[in-house]
Amino acid sequence: MVKLVAMFTKPEDPAAFDEAYFGTHLGLNAKTPGLRRTEVTRVTGAPRGETPWYLVTEMYYDDAASMRAAFASQEAAEAAKQLMSFAKGLVTMYTAEVVDETGKPA
Amino acid sequence: MVKLVAMFTKPEDPAAFDEAYFGTHLGLNAKTPGLRRTEVTRVTGAPRGETPWYLVTEMYYDDAASMRAAFASQEAAEAAKQLMSFAKGLVTMYTAEVVDETGKPA
């Protein structure tokens, strides 16, 4: 499995962010072809010190080819456009591959 | 479910990091009381631009109380001590709660 991870720093207006994110964005995101699972987490703190993160969402795909195809889809373009309407400057993303306890692809 | 997420930036010597992480650290981490699941991912890139991240590991617990108890355990102290022996300056951590599509705890 591979995933796209979107990390959001703290918005100025969390209620407005949540309305746009949970009320609209997740529904658009769910239409992305090949998406197997989405895990949304609210950041609660850090073991030590502070954390800049507010919300982190992981979108799982079967493999890198499926994820690339999803990125190129019209559905992803629409979800990204809506995301940028309220989360620009707050979001950073990375892609990752799940590995086993030896570090090999799981 | 809640989780502790450890994010590592790129080490100077990835082979030495991987040896310490997969060869020793994950075994110590697995002994932490209350740990339900560990997902380790190798970061592969970013949809746009670059990413500072190398490896991200998520450690799941049933609830915040279980996670706090784990943090206070001798096993976690030993895992943390070993982690600091090779990953100091590379690792940052946050805690998070899994939520459903409405933003409420899942």
B-side interface with A, Cβ within 8 Å? Answer: 2-5, 18, 21-22, 26, 30, 39-48, 51, 53, 56, 64, 71, 92-103
Alpha helix (H) ranges present in chain A? 14-20, 26-29, 64-71, 74-87
Confidence of residue B56 (pLDDT cuts 50, 70, 90): very high
* Cβ distance of B40 and A101 shorter than 8 Å: yes
Would you state the pLDDT for residue A32?
A: 98
Find the mean pLDDT for residues A23-47: 97
Residues 6+ apart with CB under 8 A from B19: none
Find the mean pLDDT for residues B24-33: 98
* Cβ distance of A93 and B41 shorter than 8 Å: no
Would you state the pLDDT for residue B21?
A: 98
* Cβ distance of A46 and B95 shorter than 8 Å: yes
Give me the percent of chain A exceeding a pLDDT of 90: 98
ipTM: 0.96
